[in-house]
Structure 1
Amino acid sequence: MLRSRLQLAAVCSGLEAALFGAGLLMIGLLLGSSARAEPIRGAGSTFAAPIIAKWAENYRASRVDGGDFASPDWTVDYELVGSLAGVMRLDQPELDFAATDVPISHDELVKHGRQQFPIVLGSVAVAVNLEGIAAGDLKLSGQVLADIYLGKIQSWADPAIKEINPDLQLPDVKILPMYRKDGSGTTHMFTQYLSSASAEWKAGYGADTLIAWPVGTGVEGTQDLVLAVKATRGAIAYAEYGQAERANLAFAAILNRAGRFVSPGPEGVRAAQDAVDWSKAQDFAVSLTDQPGEATYPICGATYAVVPIEGQSPGRYRRVHDYFRLAFDTGARDAEALRYVPLSEPLVSEIKQYWLRQPAAGH
């Protein structure tokens, strides 16, 4: 790749050619280029896919910097396959990072020679399709949600729902639960909340990326799940807040540990972020679900980048760091516009220090 770049520079004249060639050589060295230019390859979370795509646009634009030359090294090729599949694909040597909404344990990271750090925060909305019900009108508790997905509550006019919504005219319409049928970090966040609120759910199903759901209809991927809810009267499902909001879906206010009904959104996520001590968590592995605080939204979490280090050339994983460094430094407004919550400055500083430390395995 460097040879082809230098050949391109040779057609220029005088000092301009020398400067052009030197600049391309420096870029190649910084990015650790080897035989040929290739995109940064990632796979995983659909929860964070919109912001990963936006940051990829910014990364390419920043590296091109108004010029005519663009290298594949400056692009990001990201596959929306779900958190579980993304982590599984890390066994493929061509993958540079996985994005997962479920943090990997320190022991597993060490075993496989990988790094992990959060990249963005967000919330899971409980979306519904009920005529005359607007966003935030409906209130739901974790116990009621668990009973809906256990099949114990089957009508929107059920007394348990009416009891916490005395001012709503709820229709006697069958509840049609929907869920992600692919391995999903969003499912993990949602079922974590159900497990915290319902002993029956915790004992029978627990929290995981894949669940043997007792009732409901499975849909693959966040986008298709959102579309399915929009097309189905009486439906209920869980989805990343920004994607549900952009689809104009109504969503419920959810009961938190302080006994308050809180709507999904940035404010509730920031409150959850402030409730945890990231510095005490190995590899930043924390749960933001059901954190204390009156303003906290109880179904939220972080998306993590998991990066192979062992067996990789330094240039491979430093390209991933380069991409996320730019995202942290300049991408906060883009995250907020898409209804995510960017990481706090102290947390970003900790992540950059983490990158500088000796990898845990194989080095």
Structure 2
Amino acid sequence: MVTRATLIRRILPVLAATLGANLLLSQCQSSPPEGPSATAPGPEGTPSSAPAGAATLSGAGATFPAPLYQRWFYDYGQANPNVKVSYQGVGSGAGIKQFQSKTVDFAASDVAMSDEEIAAVPADRGVVLLPMTAGSVVLIYNVPGAPENLKLSRAVYSDIFLGKIKNWNDPKIAELNPGVKLPDLAATVVRRADGSGTTGVFTRHLSAVSPEWKTKVGEGIAVKWPTGVGGKGNDGVTAQVQQNPGSIGYVEYGYAVNNKLPYASLENKDGNYVLPTLENSAAALASVELPADLRAFIADPPGKDSYPLVTYTWILAPKKMDTPEKATALKEVLKWCLTEGQKSSESLGYIELPKPVTERVLTAVEQIGS
């Protein structure tokens, strides 16, 4: 006769095994996948095929649009968890080089690639230049006693960066700002130490407004500066200005706002002193029509309300990607950035692209393939 105790002893191992199997099955079905690939390991530790529509994309380049790009890619990833997009702000020059060497899936630059740079892209990759957003470059400063929006004429800020105006109590600055007592303090230029699209934008403008600058220094993402100390990235220049009284530098508008640094009111082509408001920056943008290749250079925009230091900033996308999955993913990400993503622009200090511009860029996105 089988006693109750004996029956329980026989059943317990079976129940334990069944419960363990059910628990393991439940964990496999409900636990989030580990790691960035979201796939199970394949033979010899390699990942198996990714889920349909999954892709991981990497980009690098300009620091000017980095806050907006990082916001876009985060928001897109929240809505589309199968697509992971990373972006590193390393400077436009480094971004172009990484794109040419195929170490990133896409890159970004505040200055559209030159013909020579495009020619250096491998033929099996190609490139399409996509203006994704636009913004202004501002002159930030750390001058005790100075007002928040110090007036600087074209001649004055050119001479500061040429090293000709060496002190903040210079009569040329005082004349533009009557009633303001500026300190007897050396004016220290802070400029980019890395290859920078922001530098390209600023030096192109200086070359347009100052014949001396054009002759002695010229324009480019890296130039031989007459004076100053270097900072890496827009954030590096911002930090240098914050920490050093008497300093002046150039950064993207959002960096000035986010760090609560004063920025100058600049004289524009029409002789008016204007601030980098979104309206004034948009007015400058509207003064220049995008050509067929979408490479526009806004050196000195006309218009009574136009802020003088405005630029588009470009994504450099390959015409041929490694896989159809990556090509499809990048196209969808960029389409989202040009539509839904534009709604985030103004909150971060960037200019929402006009609809005719986005329509042209959306058409250009279709050149991306595999």
Which SS does the other structure have where 2:219 is aligned?
Answer: coil
**Does the CA contact (< 8 Å) of 1:122 and 1:301 recur in 2?**
yes
Say yes or no: does 1:299 pair with 2:287: no
Could you tell me how far apart the structure 1 residues matched to 2:180 and 2:356 are? Answer: 43
Which SS does the other structure have where 2:293 is aligned?
Answer: helix
* One-letter amino acid of the structure 1 residue matched with residue 227 of structure 2: V
User: 1:245: Cα distance to partner?
Assistant: 1.2
User: 1:134: Cα distance to partner?
Assistant: 3.5
Map 1:165-176 to 2 at 5 A: 165-176=177-188
| Partner in structure 2 of residue 21 of structure 1 | none
* One-letter amino acid of the structure 2 residue matched with residue 236 of structure 1: I
* One-letter amino acid of the structure 2 residue matched with residue 97 of structure 1: F
User: 1:302: Cα distance to partner?
Assistant: 1.1
Say yes or no: does 1:207 pair with 2:207: no
**Does the CA contact (< 8 Å) of 2:140 and 2:250 recur in 1?**
yes
Which SS does the other structure have where 1:207 is aligned?
Answer: coil
**Does the CA contact (< 8 Å) of 1:241 and 1:265 recur in 2?**
no
* One-letter amino acid of the structure 2 residue matched with residue 140 of structure 1: L
User: 1:207: Cα distance to partner?
Assistant: 1.0
Say yes or no: does 1:40 pair with 2:49: no
Could you tell me how far apart the structure 2 residues matched to 1:358 and 1:86 are? Answer: 19
Could you tell me how far apart the structure 2 residues matched to 1:28 and 1:294 are? Answer: 54
* One-letter amino acid of the structure 2 residue matched with residue 265 of structure 1: T
| Partner in structure 2 of residue 328 of structure 1 | 338
| Partner in structure 2 of residue 252 of structure 1 | 264
CA offset digits 1:287-320 (Å, max 9, x no partner): 1231101111111101100112246434333322
| Partner in structure 1 of residue 146 of structure 2 | 133
* One-letter amino acid of the structure 2 residue matched with residue 213 of structure 1: W
**Does the CA contact (< 8 Å) of 1:106 and 1:282 recur in 2?**
no
Say yes or no: does 1:355 pair with 2:358: no
| Partner in structure 2 of residue 19 of structure 1 | none
User: 1:275: Cα distance to partner?
Assistant: 0.7
> After the TM superposition, which of the residue ranges 158-167 and 305-314 deviates more from structure 2?
305-314
Say yes or no: does 1:75 pair with 2:84: yes
**Residues 324, 275 of structure 1: CA spacing in aligned structure 2 closer, same or farther, 3 A cutoff?**
same
Map 1:226-245 to 2 at 5 A: 226-245=238-257
User: 1:106: Cα distance to partner?
Assistant: 5.5
| Partner in structure 2 of residue 272 of structure 1 | 284
CA-atom RMSD, angstroms? 2.3
Normalising by structure 2, what TM-score?
Answer: 0.81
* One-letter amino acid of the structure 2 residue matched with residue 121 of structure 1: A
Could you tell me how far apart the structure 2 residues matched to 1:347 and 1:62 are? Answer: 25
Which SS does the other structure have where 2:317 is aligned?
Answer: strand
Which SS does the other structure have where 1:259 is aligned?
Answer: coil
| Partner in structure 2 of residue 117 of structure 1 | 130
Runs of 4+ in 1 over 6 A off after TM superposition: none
**Residues 214, 198 of structure 1: CA spacing in aligned structure 2 closer, same or farther, 3 A cutoff?**
same
Could you tell me how far apart the structure 1 residues matched to 2:79 and 2:320 are? Answer: 29
* One-letter amino acid of the structure 2 residue matched with residue 142 of structure 1: R
Q: Identity over aligned residues, as a percent?
A: 34
**Residues 134, 324 of structure 1: CA spacing in aligned structure 2 closer, same or farther, 3 A cutoff?**
farther
* One-letter amino acid of the structure 1 residue matched with residue 69 of structure 2: I
**Residues 60, 111 of structure 1: CA spacing in aligned structure 2 closer, same or farther, 3 A cutoff?**
same
User: 1:339: Cα distance to partner?
Assistant: 0.6
User: 1:95: Cα distance to partner?
Assistant: 1.2
**Does the CA contact (< 8 Å) of 1:106 and 1:283 recur in 2?**
no
* One-letter amino acid of the structure 2 residue matched with residue 342 of structure 1: E
Q: Could you tell me which of 348, 354, 362 is aligned with 1:344? A: 354
Q: Could you tell me which of 87, 111, 134 is aligned with 1:102? A: 111
Which SS does the other structure have where 1:257 is aligned?
Answer: coil
CA offset digits 1:67-105 (Å, max 9, x no partner): xxxx3xx12111111000000001333411111000014
Larger Rg over CA atoms: 2
The number of aligned residues is 322
User: 1:321: Cα distance to partner?
Assistant: 2.0
List alignment gaps of at least 5 residues for structure 1.
Answer: 1-7, 13-26, 65-70
* One-letter amino acid of the structure 1 residue matched with residue 218 of structure 2: G
Normalising by structure 1, what TM-score?
Answer: 0.83
Could you tell me how far apart the structure 2 residues matched to 1:134 and 1:170 are? Answer: 9
